[in-house]
Structure 1
């Protein structure tokens, strides 16, 4: 009698437990996930900025179906490989090269850029020996198909005949000829006064002749720090060339993007063939928590239908040039005259549709 009673009590308890679990499932509670974890981010159709909590000087390049991303780490070079730039927070930035100690390029590695040239990968970066006055540009080479694999070989310093202070190097491929563009000083010791320079490339690690100065701070919005730096090349669908750069000091909230336009059929080495826009093309917007937006690059959506801007900004005023700068992405459009319209920084936390064709 007692056995039957215990059995009935046990069966009743099990039945109540089943009913409870069923009710929870009907109410939408996923018992496999801890409370508050939210939906799987890979099923989301939108994202919000910033895409990483920190990442000064972001750079993205697409090769095949993959994007490769890097930013300033200071003491090494790191790369991430992804099919979805909006999901970079889910990936590590793996170290691919660390400089040896005690060299002219052992410290203060800034603004690395990854380029695919003539079937090989190249990383351009600025570095010094702990003294800023000794900053120069350097080159790494990798022959592997995937730059996150293989061996990165140090090719040496890349400089024109003047060999002055240099940072923020990038590459322009124009009519089959390569050009190197960077930020530098006019003299031997001009801290805080930076111009943009260009020189012809003999190969991906060697420059020919002396440099030509393309731009220096001339407008008021460029002069809070007297800086032109972070040059980036952008081409429209007809091949017209634009050079978007960062102006004013990164330690100020006036840090913004300016633009030079190469005249059609112009010679990139002739400064007069470039025209500077009188106003910034992208600037601080406090309402969007975007202070000092700059040092950008550009990329296409996976399906090639959209153009995207990636840049860093601080989320609050007066945060300067440190690791508080975080990377953000947003689409941009083109004006009727063929010039880019970068718009305004989108507010942090505001949903943005993921790049067209992006998959988890």
Structure 2
């Protein structure tokens, strides 16, 4: 009887939640893409949650999850639909959620008629949870010349806000450059825009436009630098940007801040002479670009990148662009090493135990 009682207690102890919580599981894996569609993906990690956004074109949708590998099942909510007739009523591109001074901000590009009207806009939410509360329009985030602008990202660098984005030099298209400016607050620029990158290297200038854009047999060129994203590591600052175009061999380039002086001095930024992330036909990943970065927490913390990519070379700029993510490392010189884009099984971030 004592033996039976002993085994009964042992079984009860072994099956208790506190013990199960400490029992390691076999590592889960996932394969890319993590969602079937999602151009221009963006992730913000905050208080144990990941907040995710991508281009929908018609509204601002926010996803919330404990693990980015579970994005397909994540809670989602349309947090903002622009009123009809406003200058930001259509073609909403590349939204990014940020948090400054205990408030939430979403930056997005939008226009009212066609692409030539694209400007950057920002909305604000004072709730502790961005899935709750009201989002209010704070206004247009523009340089003094009110130039065409898309793909803005914002960084708090040593207590000062900076914005980086893709813009035209003048009033018409033909070339997209990377600009940076200082912000007085999350919705107001306090400096002139400064050019820090333009498509000048051979691998940045694959500018043929789609056939249906061609007129009278002419093949114009559009050279692109866009999707700038700040990346910080060990007191170093980088901007990772996308080059060429989404209908071509989209890839990523790297700008490195020298760590001294003003971020608005172009001389303080150095461009890598070669791309740092390119497509992999062998792995079935084409035109990778325009994403972001996040870091998992816990004892096995990792740096991760997220980006969109196509499943074939001819998918262009539509909704076949889907979010992919993978961990990355750092080179001995302190620069990021993104490796190659992959769809093979990857370990789920920080998935170590029963929760």
| Shared fold per TM-score greater than 0.5 | yes
Q: Which residue of 1 aligns with 2:305?
A: 309
- Whether contact under 8 Å (1:50, 1:328) holds in the other structure is yes
Map 1:24-63; keep pairs closer than 5 Å.
45-63=28-46
> In structure 2, what is the equivalent of residue 165 of structure 1?
148
- Is 1:204 the counterpart of 2:186? The answer is yes
In structure 2, C-alpha distance between the alignment counterparts of 1:129 and 1:312, rounded to whole Å: 26
Does residue 1:280 correspond to 2:275, yes or no? yes
Deviations 1:34-66 (A, max 9, x none): xxxxxxxx9861111110010000000001110
The change in CA–CA distance for 1:314 and 1:140 in structure 2 (over 3 A counts) is same
1:239-266 alpha-carbon deviations (Å, 9 max, x no partner): 10000000001111x1000000000223
**Does residue 344 of the first structure (1) align with residue 335 of the second (2)?**
no
> Among residues 110, 130, 133, which one is paired with 1:127 in the alignment?
110
Scaled by the length of structure 2, the TM-score of the pair is: 0.86
Structure-2 change in CA distance of 1:358 and 1:44 (3 Å) = closer
Gaps of 5+ in 2: 1-24, 208-222
Hey, what's the Cα distance between the residues in 2 that align with 1:102 and 1:258? 37
What is the aligned length?
314
Q: Are the aligned partners of 1:121 and 1:141 in contact in 2 as well (CA < 8 Å)? A: yes
1:9 paired residue number: none
Give 1 or 2 for the bigger CA radius of gyration: 1
1:235 aligns with 2:229: no
Name the structure 2 match of 1:222. 204
Q: Which residue of 2 aligns with 1:355?
A: 349
Equivalence map 1:1-360=2 (5 Å): 45-189=28-172, 191-225=173-207, 226-236=223-233, 238-252=234-248, 254-303=249-298, 305-346=301-342, 348=343, 350-357=344-351
Q: TM-score, normalised on structure 1?
A: 0.85
Secondary structure class of the residue paired with 2:192: strand
Give the whole-Å Cα distance in 2 for the aligned partners of 1:331 and 1:103.
Answer: 40
The residue that corresponds to 2:211 in the other structure is none
- 8 Å CA contact 2:230–2:238 kept in 1: the answer is yes
Q: Deviations over 1:123-151 (max 9, x none)?
A: 00000013111100000000011111110
The offset of 1:173, in angstroms, is 1.8
Secondary structure at the residue paired with 2:240? strand
Is the 1:124–1:169 Cα contact (8 Å) retained in structure 2? Answer: yes
1:224 Cα deviation (Å)?
Answer: 1.4
CA distance in 1, matches of 2:149, 2:102: 26
Determine helix, strand or coil for the equivalent of 1:281: coil
Q: Shift in Å at residue 220 of structure 1? A: 1.2
- Quickly say closer, same or farther: Cα 1:341–1:129, change in 2 above 3 A: same
SS across alignment from 1:209: coil
Partners in 2 of 1:358 and 1:342 — Cα distance?
24
Once residues 128 and 193 of structure 2 are traced to their aligned partners in structure 1, the CA distance between those partners, rounded to angstroms, is: 32
Which whole-Å deviations, capped at 9, do the CAs of 1:6-59 have from their partners, x for residues lacking one?
xxxxxxxxxxxxxxxxxxxxxxxxxxxxxxxxxxxx986111111001000000
Cα offset, 1:92, TM superposition? 4.5
Question: Runs of 5+ in structure 1 lacking a partner?
Answer: 1-41
Residues 279-307 of structure 1: CA deviation (Å, up to 9, x unaligned): 11001100111100000100011327100
CA distance in 2, matches of 1:188, 1:103: 21
Cα distance in 1, alignment partners of residues 340 and 27 from structure 2: 24
Q: Which runs of 4+ in 1 moved over 6 A?
A: none
